[in-house]
Structure 1
Amino acid sequence: MNDLVVQTDGLTKRYGERLAVDSVSMTVRRGEVYGFLGPNGAGKTTTLRMMLGLIRPSAGTVSVLGRPAGRPDVITRVGALVEGPGFFPYLSGRDNLRTMARYRNLGDHAVDAALARVDLTDRAGDRFKAYSLGMKQRLGVASALLGDPELIVLDEPTNGLDPAGMADMRALVVSLARGGQTVLLSSHLLTEVQEICDRVGVINGGRLLREARVDELRGEATLRVRAAPEEAAIAVAMRVAGENSVRRTPLGLELDLSADAAPALVRDLVAAGVDVHEVSPTERSLEEVFFEMTAEAPTTKEKVA
């Protein structure tokens, strides 16, 4: 079985002179949660629309589940929520989903299952126009889950949700992947992505800057040390970690060592007569890495999403 659920090669979208997506080549693997990250206007939604066959690329190719994007036999195996849900305001949540289910030859059992997954069963009989923003978003996610699709594309699925609803949505996404489904998640909430995504792609100015596992992007953990006298601490730290693995920072010394090395380091510092005030492991957050990457990549005014 092909491990790649989504594969793009040189995917490009141009609107006249304006370049929205610039030669994006990315892969989404079966059973993973893939985070698609980028600032507003970076080209995320345009890329997702090409993956779903909603718009045609100007150049390049996109394959979904081993077939060209937008083919009828592909569409039935994909569920998506892109740029917010759109439903009939005068119909109830359940009737809106029933309408969508009929187009996919699905029965009421699929509707009830999707409503239960997003915790909307109790409010399914209410009209859509009476829903809060968070409830509308959950109904949109429910529509993407109809029929248990192999690939689920979610564009900002936690938009409008309260903290409890966001936690429930994160748990749902993780459970989908554990059940064998593949989730492509576009989000600006980097803490959320860091918690639940296996791999991420970072896009800015229409170009894919990096595609990697979350832990690869964040890099290795380091140890922060505050000790006095500092010169003596530096000498010990260089002996333990190596001369090129110790850096002075405003917060103390930073060593390229894992947390497992902390006990031995403290023993050596104390044996050398150094007073140890703090030894703590530190890791760069995905947010820090993201802002570094997007700040380094200039965008041009003619590029839009």
Structure 2
Amino acid sequence: MVTTEALTKRYGDRVAVDNVSMTVRRGEVYGFLGPNGAGKTTTLRMLLGLVRPTAGSASILGRPAGRPHPDLRVGALIEGPGFHPYLSGRDNLRTVARFRGFADAEVERVLERVDLAGRATDKYKGYSLGMKQRLGVAAALMGDPELVVLDEPTNGLDPAGMADMRALVVDLARGGQTVLLSSHLLAEVQEICDRVGVINNGRLLRESTVAEMRGGSSLRVRATPEPEALAVAMRLAGDDGVRRTPTGLALDLPADAAPHVVRELVQAGVDVLEVTPAERSLEEVFFEMTTVPAPTSVDKEPVS
């Protein structure tokens, strides 16, 4: 659905997007993940022809990105919605619908889809930030596009609104549509995305499924005295298989290794307070990838 090859954008001496090669597959929810200013929005704008790339190439639905195609079924919300403040939500969408050749019935359909039908007659200037965001998503869904590109779609939404938006994105994918979703909300991406691309300082650091990104399960151990527990943990999991956390030690071992770990700790005279199977969150992985590591030492705790 979307591919880029060495896509690059420079503004003078500043490189906003640096040699990004990514692939979005049909029917998946792809999370484009990175901190603010990482290059997410610039990349999406190049895909949609809103910004001309400095180098590299991109295609969208099998055609070169940025070139007008009347039959190209793509809906997008980039950065934030922009509507006429003096018009109602419904009339704003009708304006968009007429420009794009859709009937008024399509306006009613998308208003229902984003739960704005009850406020459709209110003027846009009176909408909350979350309502404005939902109206922007409604405009992106007009025409039942094959590809939906959403840039930070939950901005301004309250927790209930965020949950509704996540459910909508999942429902779009179940219906066969492809969603390219940029976000800096790591828990949101972990919950709804099939695959993830992590971008930082303009560079794509990694692209894989969420499960692959998080890696296998681990064991969280709380024990005292900690130096002795650390020595046993490193002997069992290896020097690189142990991480200190605020609540104890994380061992890169499967859950069924817990009994053996407990026996080894007890035999070493260590008091075992807790052994819990756990998986790394996407947030932990993200900060490991985007934070400059401290000098290697078992006494150094990586930022997480």
Would you call these one fold, judging by a TM-score over 0.5?
yes
State the secondary structure of the residue aligned to 1:115.
helix
State the secondary structure of the residue aligned to 1:296.
coil
Deviation at 1:264, TM superposition (A): 6.3
Deviation at 1:182, TM superposition (A): 0.6
Alpha-carbon distance in structure 2 between the residues aligned to 1:248 and 1:181 = 40
Aligned position for 1:120:
116
Alpha-carbon distance in structure 2 between the residues aligned to 1:248 and 1:41 = 29
What whole-Å deviation, never above 9, does each CA across 1:140-164 have from its counterpart, x for those lacking one? 0000000110110101111111110
Alpha-carbon distance in structure 2 between the residues aligned to 1:211 and 1:218 = 12
> Aligned letter for 1:17?
D
Could you say if the C-alpha distance between residues 262 and 60 of structure 1 is closer, same or farther in structure 2, counting changes exceeding 3 Å?
same
Kept in 2: contact 1:7–1:63 (CA 8 A): yes
- Residue 29 (structure 2) pairs with residue 10 (structure 1): no
Deviation at 1:186, TM superposition (A): 0.8
Deviation at 1:259, TM superposition (A): 2.4
Could you say if the C-alpha distance between residues 263 and 153 of structure 1 is closer, same or farther in structure 2, counting changes exceeding 3 Å?
same
Matched residue count: 292
Could you say if the C-alpha distance between residues 107 and 15 of structure 1 is closer, same or farther in structure 2, counting changes exceeding 3 Å?
same
Could you say if the C-alpha distance between residues 280 and 180 of structure 1 is closer, same or farther in structure 2, counting changes exceeding 3 Å?
same
> Aligned letter for 1:219?
G
Alpha-carbon distance in structure 1 between the residues aligned to 2:211 and 2:120 = 40
Q: Which moved more, 1:59-68 or 1:272-281?
A: 272-281
Could you say if the C-alpha distance between residues 296 and 252 of structure 1 is closer, same or farther in structure 2, counting changes exceeding 3 Å?
closer
State the secondary structure of the residue aligned to 2:258.
helix
Kept in 1: contact 2:111–2:120 (CA 8 A): yes
What fraction of aligned residue pairs are identical, expressed as a percent?
Answer: 74
TM-score in terms of structure 1 length:
0.85
Alpha-carbon distance in structure 2 between the residues aligned to 1:100 and 1:136 = 15
Aligned position for 2:201:
205
- Residue 130 (structure 2) pairs with residue 134 (structure 1): yes
* Higher RCO structure, 1 or 2 (CA under 8 Å, sep 6+): 1
Could you say if the C-alpha distance between residues 74 and 201 of structure 1 is closer, same or farther in structure 2, counting changes exceeding 3 Å?
farther
Q: Which runs of 5+ in 2 are unaligned?
A: 294-304
- Residue 204 (structure 2) pairs with residue 215 (structure 1): no
Q: Which runs of 5+ in 1 are unaligned?
A: 298-305
Aligned position for 1:64:
60
> Aligned letter for 1:41?
G
Kept in 1: contact 2:234–2:242 (CA 8 A): no
Alpha-carbon distance in structure 1 between the residues aligned to 2:119 and 2:77 = 20
What whole-Å deviation, never above 9, does each CA across 1:183-235 have from its counterpart, x for those lacking one? 11111111111111111111122211111112222222211233468799789
Aligned position for 1:50:
46
Trace 1:155-170 onto structure 2 (pairs within 5 A): 155-170=151-166
Alpha-carbon distance in structure 2 between the residues aligned to 1:21 and 1:11 = 7
Alpha-carbon distance in structure 2 between the residues aligned to 1:285 and 1:177 = 23
Alpha-carbon distance in structure 1 between the residues aligned to 2:79 and 2:228 = 57
Could you say if the C-alpha distance between residues 74 and 292 of structure 1 is closer, same or farther in structure 2, counting changes exceeding 3 Å?
farther
Alpha-carbon distance in structure 1 between the residues aligned to 2:70 and 2:16 = 25
Deviation at 1:179, TM superposition (A): 0.9
Could you say if the C-alpha distance between residues 45 and 227 of structure 1 is closer, same or farther in structure 2, counting changes exceeding 3 Å?
closer
TM-score in terms of structure 2 length:
0.86
- The counterpart of 2:69, out of the listed 58, 64, 73, is 73
Kept in 1: contact 2:218–2:280 (CA 8 A): no
Trace 1:176-187 onto structure 2 (pairs within 5 A): 176-187=172-183
> Aligned letter for 2:135?
L
Task: Give the root-mean-square deviation of aligned CA atoms.
Answer: 2.7
